[in-house]
């Protein structure tokens, strides 16, 4: 249980500096239980707190855990250089409270992307020591052959990697598409593995992290949702 002043609550949720939050409260832009509140020093219990800012409902969250169905041509960076950043798909408040992508997908890679402002969660999900499986569907330039699948399962040597990298699981889906499961999370790993195996990746989509399936989240491209505790628990389950 935690109690904070209303201005600090708004600041923690990404609505701006304390001075700015105090001002919008004084301006009558914040409501609780349908009533306008103008006292920025009002002390409130944060657990389960619901409020509105500019008429939009919000719920207090100490941290946010988000799943995004990432479209193509968005960069997983807080400072994008050539394409819009994925944070532009989220409410502005998330950027102000330092929400960031958990790992990265290339700008042309689509699918399941986690985002959070919880440093411990980000570290745990990003750590290669956790061996969290990630499932990708890759579209290939050349046909997917049994030899290609076998080679990816056996392991291919990549430049700057001391040992061959192998898929945990690899299945042919159709003539030009395969499903591949990886645990390492190396830079451009799927694309580089396919290239090392003599093929070329023309499209890539991440469909699952741990036991959390993008299909179960029912998100169109560009849509996002909060993850509840049960969904976050799936992230470590194979």
Which residue do the tokens 């411990």 mark?
Answer: 120
pLDDT of residue 122: 92
| CATH code 3.10.290.10 region(s) in the chain | 3-59
pLDDT of residue 71: 96
pLDDT of residue 185: 76
CB atoms within 10 A of CB 168: 15
192 vs 79, more confident: 192
Question: What CATH topology corresponds to 3-59?
Answer: 3.10.290
pLDDT of residue 220: 96
Q: Is the pLDDT of residue 77 over 90?
A: no
The residues assigned a catalytic role are: 106
DSSP state letters, the chain? --EEEHHHHHHHTTS--HHHHHHHHHTT-EEETTEE---TT-EEE-TT-EEEETTEEEE--SS-EEEEEEPSS-BSSSS-SSS-BGGGGS-HHHHHTT-EESS---TTEEEEEEEES-HHHHHHHH-GGG---EEEEEEESS---HHHHHHHHH-B--TT-SS-B--SEEEEEETTEEEEEESS--TTHHHHHHHHTT--EEEEEEEEETTEEHHHHT--TT-EEE--HHHHHHTT--
Question: What CATH topology corresponds to 65-128+212-234?
Answer: Alpha-Beta Plaits (3.30.70)
pLDDT of residue 130: 81
| Tokens describing residue 58 | 């919000």
pLDDT of residue 187: 80
- In the chain, % of residues over pLDDT 90: 78
Question: What CATH topology corresponds to 133-209?
Answer: Alpha-Beta Plaits (3.30.70)
Q: Is the pLDDT of residue 129 over 80?
A: no
pTM: 0.91
pLDDT of residue 5: 95
| CATH code 3.30.70.1560 region(s) in the chain | 133-209
Question: What does the mean pLDDT of the chain come to?
Answer: 92
């Amino acid at each position: 249980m935690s109690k904070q002043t209303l201005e600090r609550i708004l600041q923690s949720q990404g609505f701006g500096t304390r001075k700015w939050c105090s001002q919008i409260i004084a301006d009558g832009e914040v409501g609780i239980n349908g009533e306008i509140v103008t006292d920025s020093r009002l002390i409130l219990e944060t657990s389960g707190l619901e409020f509105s800012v500019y008429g939009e409902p919000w719920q207090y969250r100490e941290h946010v855990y988000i799943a995004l169905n990432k479209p193509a041509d968005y960069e997983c960076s807080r400072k994008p250089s050539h394409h819009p950043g994925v944070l532009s798909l989220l409410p502005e408040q998330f950027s102000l409270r330092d929400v960031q992508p958990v790992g990265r997908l290339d700008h042309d890679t689509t699918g399941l992307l986690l985002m959070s402002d919880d440093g411990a969660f980000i570290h745990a999900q990003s750590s290669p020591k956790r061996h969290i499986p990630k499932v990708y569907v890759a579209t290939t330039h050349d046909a997917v052959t049994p030899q290609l699948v076998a080679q990816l399962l056996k392991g291919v040597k990549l430049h700057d990697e001391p040992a061959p990298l192998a898929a945990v699981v690899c299945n042919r889906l159709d003539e030009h598409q395969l499903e591949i499961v990886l645990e390492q999370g190396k830079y451009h790993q799927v694309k580089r593995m396919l290239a090392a195996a003599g093929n070329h990746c023309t499209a890539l989509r991440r469909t699952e992290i741990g036991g959390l399936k993008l299909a179960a989240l029912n998100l169109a491209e560009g849509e996002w949702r909060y993850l509840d505790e049960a969904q976050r628990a799936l992230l470590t389950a194979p």
